[in-house]
Structure 1
Amino acid sequence: MKKVRVGVVGLGNLGELHVRHLQDKIAASEVVAICDVFDERVKAIQEKYEVPTGYTDYDEMLKKEDLDAVAIVTNVQTHKDLIIKACDAKLNIFCEKPLSLDPEECKAIEKKVEENNTKIFTLGFMRRFDPSHAEAMERIRRGEIGKPVLFKSTSLDGVSVIDELLDKCKKGAFHPWFFEMGIHDCDLSRWFLGSEISCAYATGGAYVREEFADYDDYDNGIALATMENGTCATIHVGKAAACSHVEAEIIGTKGTLRINAIPRRNRMQIYKDGYIAEEGIVDFLERWEDAFYLEMANFIDCVLTGRKPEVTVYDGTKSLEMAIVLHKSYMEKRLIKK
């Protein structure tokens, strides 16, 4: 069987997860090269997953390796240059979200992807591939809840990681939460409601760690958006919850779908010391393990078959445009029209 030869650039926790899935779980793919700015990390991942070659220079990897595709799992500031170089090399591209934080950069990326249109390009909006979210969309398309009119989303990280997130803000590795976490909620709003944002009002604050405000960030933010087709979305993002808690609800004219209302790790209830408790999910890698695998398996299948992916470069641009409206409304504390 032909295997898709992939080079992975960016070897943080998520980059490693993608390497593991491509190398060990997806039979049709093979990681033939990896790249990261830290040589020690390259060597460690290379040895752990038996990857033939490792690089600290992306240009060298593209020049020396016989690749079919690249998976870009780096900081968002690098996405434009890495995508353009991969397009120039006529490669299939998977890129993690956000596409960019600059709408003009998004337009430049769109142009290069269009020029490279014989190849596959897709973005890491993995929530669409989560089995529960995918089933919800199937039920919506079958008309089971009528017309979707309200999407409600809660995306919270656990307070146990809040110091780590603040440190990343200080280093410039993280961005305001409507961009970093909320970009997924923006994408799902557009997906489930079938429309783009018209206007929004957002509020919130840095309540648990006031230092987030120094970076135009917040540990709790909430937005109410109206879409162009008249439907609505409410989005609550935060990083001070009891555990990782990502919940979605789609309300239609004939019914409602609710996803992950209780972020259970498993089906066990603990009866002890006067409490009835359940273990919660620890972090996003645990919550979205299946989704990350399924989105990458879908990318590889698209490369092999030529099938166009549902998530396109334009979804990256449109979701960023929505996130910009939400963040601007939060910062200015007023209704913002697109």
Structure 2
Amino acid sequence: MTKHGALGVAVIGTGRMGADHVRRIDAVTSGARVAAVVDIDAERVKAVAEGIDGCTPYTDPAAAMAAPDVDAVLIASPGPAHEAALLEAFRHDLPVLCEKPLTPDAASALRVLEAEQRLGHRRVQVGFMRRYDPEFVRLKALLAGGELGRPLMLHCRHRNASVPSFFTEPMLINDSVVHEMDQSRWLLEQEITAVTVLRPRPTAHAPEGIGDPQLVLFETDGGALVDVEIFATCGFGYQVQAEAVCERGTARVGDAHGMLVNRAGTWGGEIAQDFVARFEEAYDRQVQAWVDATRRGTVEGPSAWDGYAAAAVCEAGVRAQATGERVAVELIDRPALYR
């Protein structure tokens, strides 16, 4: 339900992702408008709001959520700020699209999970956008249809051209492989039970203190195995690929078979240089699906449980990365609200 026709969305955080979502809601998404933008940088948020009719700038998320023209919240602020924003949204019973991570650790994610259960209904969709990418949607449908039999293994590759100066080794798990964690749980419909991290010799281009690339192995409660190559400084572009190995065949996505050009003795195509370009359509579809569901009065897509599960697997992954040991994932029993 909305108060003023088009869904009035408050976007919290106007950094790279937040600014892109502001643009998306203002220019691409139907049935919604940017009613408020929030950032601790008063000058930046004022500049963002000035370009959008009817948009009010705030430096306090609580003030924005209390505004009468705000019907829903999109959280794109840094992860440590998510818990407070989510709890405030619950106080107003506002629907939320929360960029990953739900929160940075399992304990805070569990607090969010418990608070949402006290509401008695779902309010959160977590921004795992690969679930909206057309290629991954097709792979999900193929596996769910059973044509290839049971999935036995999932081979994943996650490559970035480079990483920013503030990037740390745990971020290989928390910021990058977290997507494969959710992707694997969603595609296989199984929980991840253990994580192992293996280290080949590092590339000479890896920043100091970061062992890059790494091979991350997941075990699942359904007996499947998942391997993830994370190569954060491959140098040539951004690639996300996945191949499901099943009883009666295999299926692979992410090869970017777009336009191929022949010229001057060469042939080939383009490789996206970052995640915003590669998953632009997925982000568009994700936000539109959230807006449509919210206007219907429903909550769909990745839940707070999915955000909590990813945080728990991340914690196991970081421990495995640091110790070189196989680390079991600790999860509570799934609450009834998320079954």
Alignment TM-score > 0.5, same fold: yes
**Aligned residue in 2 for 1:147:** 150
SS of the residue aligned with 2:51? Answer: helix
**Aligned residue in 1 for 2:167:** 169
Deviates more, 1:242-251 or 1:304-313: 304-313
CA gap of 1:46–1:219, structure 2 versus 1, over 3 A, is farther
Q: 1:196 aligns with which of 180, 191, 215?
A: 191
Once the two structures are TM-superposed, the CA of residue 153 in structure 1 deviates from its matched residue by 1.2
Contact 1:192–1:250, Cα closer than 8 Å, also in 2? no
1:101 is aligned to 2:104 = yes
Cα distance per residue 1:183-240 (max 9 Å; x no partner): 1100011111221122232123754455452xxx543221122111111100111211
Contact 1:91–1:119, Cα closer than 8 Å, also in 2? no
Contact 2:105–2:315, Cα closer than 8 Å, also in 1? no
Once the two structures are TM-superposed, the CA of residue 250 in structure 1 deviates from its matched residue by 1.2
| Structure 2 residue identity aligned to 1:142 | G
Contact 2:196–2:327, Cα closer than 8 Å, also in 1? yes
Once the two structures are TM-superposed, the CA of residue 7 in structure 1 deviates from its matched residue by 0.3
**TM-score when scaled to structure 1?**
0.89
**Aligned residue in 2 for 1:70:** 73
Q: 1:227 aligns with which of 204, 220, 237?
A: 220
| Structure 2 residue identity aligned to 1:33 | A
SS of the residue aligned with 2:84? Answer: helix
Once the two structures are TM-superposed, the CA of residue 65 in structure 1 deviates from its matched residue by 4.1
Give the Cα–Cα distance (whole angstroms) in 2 for the partners of residues 260 and 281 of structure 1: 11
1:110 is aligned to 2:113 = yes
1:87 is aligned to 2:90 = yes
The number of equivalent residue pairs is 324
Give the Cα–Cα distance (whole angstroms) in 2 for the partners of residues 247 and 288 of structure 1: 12
Once the two structures are TM-superposed, the CA of residue 127 in structure 1 deviates from its matched residue by 0.2
| Structure 2 residue identity aligned to 1:256 | T
Identity of aligned residues (%): 23
Contact 1:218–1:238, Cα closer than 8 Å, also in 2? no
Structure 2 residue runs of 5 or longer lacking an equivalent are 330-339
Once the two structures are TM-superposed, the CA of residue 24 in structure 1 deviates from its matched residue by 1.8
Give the Cα–Cα distance (whole angstroms) in 2 for the partners of residues 97 and 228 of structure 1: 24
Give the Cα–Cα distance (whole angstroms) in 2 for the partners of residues 82 and 62 of structure 1: 9
Contact 2:93–2:123, Cα closer than 8 Å, also in 1? no
| Structure 2 residue identity aligned to 1:323 | C
CA gap of 1:212–1:196, structure 2 versus 1, over 3 A, is farther
Once the two structures are TM-superposed, the CA of residue 79 in structure 1 deviates from its matched residue by 0.7
Q: 1:308 aligns with which of 282, 299, 302?
A: 299
CA gap of 1:84–1:139, structure 2 versus 1, over 3 A, is same
**TM-score when scaled to structure 2?**
0.89
SS of the residue aligned with 1:154? Answer: strand
Give the Cα–Cα distance (whole angstroms) in 1 for the partners of residues 206 and 295 of structure 2: 49
Cα distance per residue 1:157-200 (max 9 Å; x no partner): 113xx3xx1x2337xxx952111011110001111122112223
CA gap of 1:81–1:139, structure 2 versus 1, over 3 A, is same
| Structure 2 residue identity aligned to 1:198 | T
Contact 1:148–1:192, Cα closer than 8 Å, also in 2? no
Moved over 4 A (4+): 209-212
Give the Cα–Cα distance (whole angstroms) in 1 for the partners of residues 19 and 262 of structure 2: 33
**Aligned CA-pair RMSD:** 2.1
Contact 1:33–1:65, Cα closer than 8 Å, also in 2? no
Q: 1:185 aligns with which of 170, 180, 197?
A: 180
Give the Cα–Cα distance (whole angstroms) in 1 for the partners of residues 155 and 33 of structure 2: 38
Give the Cα–Cα distance (whole angstroms) in 1 for the partners of residues 220 and 39 of structure 2: 40
| Structure 2 residue identity aligned to 1:249 | E
CA gap of 1:8–1:269, structure 2 versus 1, over 3 A, is same
Contact 1:222–1:237, Cα closer than 8 Å, also in 2? yes
Contact 1:9–1:73, Cα closer than 8 Å, also in 2? yes
SS of the residue aligned with 1:180? Answer: helix
Give the Cα–Cα distance (whole angstroms) in 2 for the partners of residues 207 and 182 of structure 1: 18
| Structure 2 residue identity aligned to 1:319 | A
Once the two structures are TM-superposed, the CA of residue 115 in structure 1 deviates from its matched residue by 2.4
Q: 1:238 aligns with which of 226, 231, 236?
A: 231
Q: Higher helix share goes to which structure? A: 1
